[in-house]
Amino acid sequence: MNYSLRNLNMSNLWHLTKASLTSGLIALTISDRYACYSPVQGLSMFPTFNSDNTTFLGYSIIGNMLISHFDPDDHVLVEKFCLEKYKFSHGDVVVFRSPSNYKEIHIKRLVALPGDMVNIPHSFDRVKIPKGHCWVEGDNSDCSLDSRSYGPIPLGLLQGRVTYVVWPPWRISEVEKKVSKGRLLHY
């Protein structure tokens, strides 16, 4: 009796391990190849993401309510199908590894693609994007570290395209493409 019970436990444990291992593998594969979920930190994309992120002494103000210990970050869905052929278009919000630190992942808006000429704001300079590179900028140009400081980045650093805001529930929406006029000169 005792023996058979122990045997049963062992086989249950084995099944549980196998199931969790398999689901882990499935989750990893999906997040690598198709889509993944990630939080957005910081205010560099301000009107698009984290727009009700007004933290004050650990409290968040949402509408008129003051909520404590609330995680105000937006969470987004990042799709990876575009990495198959590196097909991106102007105005996409993209996720990429920082060119100065490979461990940091940044979210910015794609302004220009290879071959475009970009006007730099507040100056008369123009930059020609070399082949295989792109120009990224945050929506909140006052507090964003982007291509205006480090120049065009290789397309190979891109890790995916942001398509939806999925959390918090009242902010669920599609992320729109936005092309600012007058920045690009096509040749």
Partner 1 sequence: MSGLRFRFLQFPWKTITKDAFDGTMTVAKFLLVFHVSDTYICTPTVTYGASMLPTINSTGDLLLADRLSARFGRIRRGDIIIARSPENPRKIVTKRVMGMEGDQVTFLVDPGNINSCKSVTVPKGHVWIQGDNTYVSNDSRKYGAIPYGLIEGKAFFRVWPLENFGSLSPGSHP
Contact of 159 with 96, CB cutoff 8 Å = yes
Q: Known catalytic residues?
A: 44, 108
Type of residue at 50 = N
Per CB under 8 A, residues contacting partner 1 are 22, 25-26, 28-29, 32-33, 85-86, 96-103, 130-133, 153-158
* Shortest distance in whole angstroms from residue 52 CB to partner 1: 31
User: Which lies closer to partner 1 via its Cβ, residue 3 or residue 102?
Assistant: 102
Choice between 91 and 151, CB closer to partner 1: 151
Tokens 């979210």 correspond to 107
- 39 vs 154 by CB, closer to partner 1: 154
Who's near 156: CB < 8 A, 6+ residues apart?
Answer: 132
Q: Is the Cβ–Cβ distance between 146 and 99 less than 8 Å?
A: no
Q: If DSSP codes are grouped into helix, strand and coil, which group holds residue 134?
A: strand
Question: How far apart (Å, rounded) are the C-alpha atoms in residues 125 and 147?
Answer: 14
Beta carbon of residue 128, minimum distance to partner 1 (angstroms, whole number)? 14
CB 23 to partner 1: min, Å: 10
